[in-house]
Structure 1
Amino acid sequence: MKKLRHLKPAGEAVFKDSYTTKARELLEAYSPGMQREIAVVGVPLSKASISHSGASFAPTTIREALQSYTTYSGEEGMEIADRIIDFGDIYMNPTDVTQNQERITEGLTDVFATETAGNWMILGGDHSISYSSIKAFAEKKTVGVIQFDAHHDLRNTEDGGPTNGTPFRRLLEDSIIRGENLTQIGIRDFTNSGAYDEYAKEQSVTVYTMADVDRLSLNQILEIEIQRLAKVVDVIYLSVDMDVLDQAFAPGCPAIGPGGMDSKTLLKGILFASHYEKVQAMDIVEIDPTIDFRNMTSRIAAYVMLQFIKGKRMDDGGGTQKGL
């Protein structure tokens, strides 16, 4: 039989530059006994969303978006060579939202207990997953949280149960975190109610609006808050709701709106924060790939991952920051 020429398995007949490594190639499936600096877990839950959301598809599209980038940082002259452990995705029950949130806590508790990595990236999912993720992360540590968001996500649970609008209220009410250990950055005008703004004040939550970000700069705010939190908590967790971005940059967010951050500001902020040793976890939430345009929002999320990785890999880029 004549040999068939120029054929490769389906999906593998793509151009490959022998001098270029794509960021998606860094992901390595978990197996017991592995040790790496950074690990990733997918949490594909979106049925807790107040509005229609296909955020359950985002862990896949964010990973796929890593293929858009190389592993070389030209700004630092640095190749990111070490692999990232990928634990895969937590399986979700098709109908039971509350059980799924409990399952996320159980699953991530098991993942964190492996101590496979010193730093963690959690890919959501809607923002309800942050309650379960932070609960698992805080099992044996005092956790400070820096939340990038247009919304407070301090809604009451009586009106709709544990939705994507309630994770931080639930964390406070269940004493998983303290109000003074929660910092919210990017809160947008005409996007929240006065009642929840007042609740944030009552709980001693530190709130920076977009006007504050414009006035002070994101990196200045992060320096103030990380240094403040580092004195009173064991670790710091970044929760990145992609709707903190202006709708022009994040068309794939269910709750888009004008007046938000530009992508460059967010990316610089994530890089700055990741230099700090106590910043050890980050979730990325609220991307609906079914309404995105050319995967713009997932591509930013993948870049957020790379900024976090880059900051952790830089030998001494953070100066004295790394000790905090």
Structure 2
Amino acid sequence: MGFAHHHHGQSDGQTPPLHDNYGPEARYAVEREAELPTTRWEAEVERGLRLGLPGADSIVDRRIPTFSRGELPHFAGINTFLKAPYVEDVTTCGEYDVAVLGAPFDGGTTYRPGTRFGPQGIRKISALYGPYSFELGVDLRESITIADLGDIFTIPANIEKTFDQISKAVGHVYASGAFPVVLGGDHSIGYPTVRGVAEHLSGNLGIIHFDRHVDTQETDLDERMHTTPWFHATDIPNVPPKNLVQIGIGGWQAPRPGVKVGRERGTTIMTVTDCVEMGIEAAAAKALEVAWDGAEAVWLSFDVDCLDAAFVPGTGWPEPGGFLPREVLKFIQLIAERPLAGIEVVECSPPYDNAEITSLIATRVICDTLGCLVRAGHLPGRKP
């Protein structure tokens, strides 16, 4: 994918009529692309030439610099998320629409470790992506600004200090007005991320939780672990359990103490079969209804193991029988038709991954969430 793919026909001033052989989605996609601007792409090319030197004399395409700057080539450069600018001064994150931050922590893991490398793995494979989605008809580069803040300083030997660090970091980003995207990390981070957002709300926070596991027991192995975030999150006064909806739960890894807590607190559980048989559209509508009931905002927590184990080998507790990728992506796209407070993607363990496919689905979930929030008008969050 070279520079030519960014050369749109709109400069000709004439768009020929479309033939009738497109499917409805493809027709929408092709029509929408002609309407997208290229202003920020052109600015990125100019910046690359200015900062990276014009290319060698033998290079015919004079938009190519000597040093890689920006999106291309996808195999070169420093791997921030989607090659967004790395912002070392986190006090400036509010100048961006979206702020990506890593939570490299697997001290809450009860079986396979490795999710401390999740942020690295997700950033690495995200270089494969451009900012434009054909089906969604969205170009993130032309629509919003994204910053990568790097990683939270987690404390490997102390889960409680790590929780405090994560809450402070996520709270800082949320309060700045930027949309937080958290790269996990094991699922224990769900508690401190929610805590970081909830303290900045005057009303209630709902949670939409994709997972194969309930994660609602009070302790595991005598500590707060990646099996316990939602017990403690729904202990926060403005995070009521009635607004916790859990999607994809099932299999042989749902500890009974957690099921008991969910039953007693009145959380909502939707199994894979529930969602598939009622239809993804109806399931998404139910999830939104539950999470948004009386809530001021909703947090999206996505555990990659909600997908069938065949698609996510790089995770701590793989379980057969989960969602297919297209089902999850359709679900996510519908969820993001409503505004979100932020998103975390957790339990991606690159040491167990195969051909980076688990990191790839993590990246895709984030990109689709951002793209649909843009398409629905929820990003950028602050209108000029």
What TM-score do the two structures reach when normalised by structure 2?
0.73
- Tell which structure's C-alpha radius of gyration is larger: 2
> Could you tell me how far 1:156 is from its partner in structure 2?
2.8
Match of 1:59 in 2: 119
Q: How many positions carry a matched residue from both structures?
A: 306
1:73 shift after superposition: 1.6
Matches of 1:158 and 1:44 in 2, distance apart?
Answer: 21
CA contact (8 A) 2:242 2:290 kept: no
1:94-120 CA-partner distances (Å, limit 9, x unpaired): 3222211122112222232222x1x22
Q: Does 1:290 align with 2:351?
A: yes
How many percent identity over aligned positions?
26
Alpha-carbon distance in 2 for matches of 1:52, 1:99: 22
How many Å separate the matches in 2 of 1:77 and 1:149?
28
Deviation at 1:16, TM superposition (A): 6.8
When residues 41 and 103 of structure 1 are mapped into structure 2, their CA distance, relative to the original with a 3 A threshold, is same
Which of 13, 29, 42 matches 2:87?
A: 29
CA contact (8 A) 2:251 2:319 kept: no
> Tell me, what secondary structure is at the counterpart of 2:360?
helix
Q: 1:94 & 1:16 partners in 2: Cα distance?
A: 32
Taking structure 1 as reference, are residues 306 and 187 closer, same or farther at Cα in structure 2, changes over 3 Å only? same
The answer as to 2:179 corresponding to 1:124 is no
Can you list the C-alpha shifts for 1:137-195, whole angstroms capped at 9, x where unaligned? Answer: 10032100011010000123264301101111112234452110100110013221334
Give the TM-score normalised by structure 1. Answer: 0.86
Counterpart amino acid of 1:166?
T
TM-aligned CA distance change 1:167 to 1:75, over 3 Å: same
From 276, 292, 313, the equivalent of 2:374 is 313
Which of 206, 209, 214 aligns to 2:271? It is: 209
SS for the counterpart of 2:341 is strand
Question: What is the Cα deviation at residue 307 of structure 1?
Answer: 0.1
Select 1:200's aligned residue among 256, 259, 262.
Answer: 262
Residue 139 in structure 1 maps to residue 204 in structure 2: no
Q: Which has the bigger relative contact order, CA under 8 A and spacing at least 6?
A: 1
2:362 to 298, 301, 314: 301
Of 262, 268, 280 in structure 1, the residue corresponding to residue 330 of structure 2 is 268
* Equivalences for residues 234-245 of structure 1 within 5 A: 234-245=296-307
Distance in 2, Cα, partners of 1:225 & 1:213? 10
Listed as ranges, the gaps of 5+ residues in structure 2 are 1-55, 60-65, 379-384
Q: Answer whether contact 1:28 1:83 (CA < 8 A) is retained.
A: no
Contact 1:252 1:297 survives alignment (8 Å)? yes
Distance in structure 2 (CA, Å) of the matches to 1:104 and 1:23 = 19
Residue 27 of structure 2 aligns with which residue?
A: none
Partner of residue 10, structure 2: none
* Structure 1 SS opposite 2:97: strand
Alpha-carbon distance in structure 2 between the residues aligned to 1:268 and 1:311: 11
1:160-175 to structure 2, matched below 5 A, reads: 160-175=222-237
Q: Tell me how far apart the structure 1 counterparts of residues 268 and 236 of structure 2 sit (CA, whole Å).
A: 19
| Structure 1, unaligned runs of 5 or more | 318-324
> 2:122·2:363 contact (CA, 8 Å) conserved in 1?
yes
Between structures 1 and 2, the one with greater strand share: 1
2:291 and 2:118 map into 1 onto residues whose CA distance is 30
Aligned residue in 1 for 2:5 = none
Instruction: Find the counterpart in structure 1 of residue 106 from structure 2.
Output: 46
State the Cα distance separating 1:30 from its structure 2 match. 5.7
What's the counterpart of residue 256 of structure 1? 318
CA–CA separation in structure 2 for the residues paired with 1:120 and 1:271: 18
Determine the C-alpha separation between the residues in 2 that align with 1:315 and 1:226.
15
Contact 1:28 1:84 in 2 (8 A): no
Distance 2:352 2:341 in 1: 31
